[in-house]
Amino acid sequence: MRISEIYKRKKTVVSFEVFPPKKTDAPDQSVYETFERICALSPDFVSVTCGAGGTGAGGNKTIELSALIKSKYGVEPMAHLTCIAAKKSDIKSAANEMKARGIENVLALRGDIPDGFDKDAPRDYTYAKELIADINREGFCTAGAAYPEGHIDCIDDEENIEYLKQKQDAGAAFFTTQLCFSNEHFYRFLDLAAKRGIKSPISAGIMPMMGRSQIERMIFMCGASLPSKMIKLLNKYGENADDLLKAGLEYSKEQIDGLLSYGASGIHIYTMNRPQVAEFLAEGLL
């Protein structure tokens, strides 16, 4: 099923994000149990990231897990596909494999710039909008990434929204956002997007804090800001992993409740492959 059709018929679409196993061999039973528990919650779709060792064109692990989620667990998958280091032929091959495996939905991303990457060397892709256009022409339901506080490489709000409009014009049927710890940033982003003519639905990305190092890494990687309440929680529970996770889940639940009251088009939960995270935050949602 094309995920764009789900957005048309539901007020709020609920999705989870998972990543492929890091092992080079076949997943063991515990890995299958993780995905089974997450999919058993019956989300509207599951987004599958490019796993470690995956190629710039998505990687076999991403496609394999996406196919498994659909065939074994009966949940619609969305496979991530990156392009910054990919050739047109790589993308074509990945598209053909996804079609053969019954995958209909793709999140088209520029992707992180690899270490040692020559920014001045000729390449087939520079921006995500170029990949979105190609994947859309391949007949997939194509999604794009959105950044409530702007991409870390983005200069200002105007540029951020202009890139979003270009992705929509290239064929993005919906968007999922980078993690955002403040609903106010998300609401402001939606307002700016609407004024620019963005009509594709936008799901809010929610990631519970699971540890101090995780939060610090996300701040510097993504450019997301921390509300004072979250800073206080980190200060209070930062030395106790269990208490911090519990506080983080409660904080994310409050975010979700606020987003539902606001009428958000979707809630996209970064599960970090932890079934307990999906189960806690899905309560009352699914």
pLDDT value of residue 55: 46
Which tokens belong to 8? 């048309």
Is 64 a known active-site residue?
Answer: no
Say if residue 24's pLDDT is above 60: no
Q: Between 89 and 21, where is the model more confident?
A: 89
CA atoms within 13 A on the CB side of 19: 13
Separation in Å, CA 208 to CA 17, 48, 220, 231, 280 = 13, 18, 17, 13, 11
Is the distance from CB of 166 to CB of 158 less than 8 angstroms? no
More confident: 220 or 106: 106
Residue 54 is predicted with a pLDDT of 42
Question: In the chain, what are the domains?
Answer: 3-282 (3.20.20.220)
Percent above pLDDT 90 for the chain: 79
- Per-residue model confidence as pLDDT tens digits over 144-189: 999 999 998 888 999 999 999 999 999 999 999 999 999 999 999 9
Find tokens 């087939």 and name the residue.
Answer: 124
Q: What pLDDT does 71 receive?
A: 96
190-234 pLDDT, tens digit each = 999 999 999 999 999 999 998 888 888 888 888 889 999 999 999
* pLDDT above 70: residue 5: yes
The upper half-sphere exposure of residue 186, i.e. CA atoms within 13 Å in the direction of its Cβ, equals 27
Q: Which positions ≥6 away from 209 have C-beta within 8 Å?
A: 215, 230, 233, 234, 244, 245, 247, 248, 251
Q: What is the pLDDT of residue 222?
A: 84
Confidence of residue 131 (pLDDT cuts 50, 70, 90): very high
Q: Which of 17, 76, 130, 149 is catalytic?
A: 17
Mean pLDDT within 128-150: 97
In sequence order, what are the residues at sequence separation of 6 or more whose Cβ sits closer than 8 angstroms to the Cβ of residue 131? 81, 82, 83, 91, 108, 109, 110, 125
| Cα separation, 125 vs 87, whole angstroms | 7
**pLDDT band of 27, cuts 50, 70, 90:** low
Indicate if the pLDDT at residue 91 is higher than 80.
yes
pLDDT of residue 243: 94
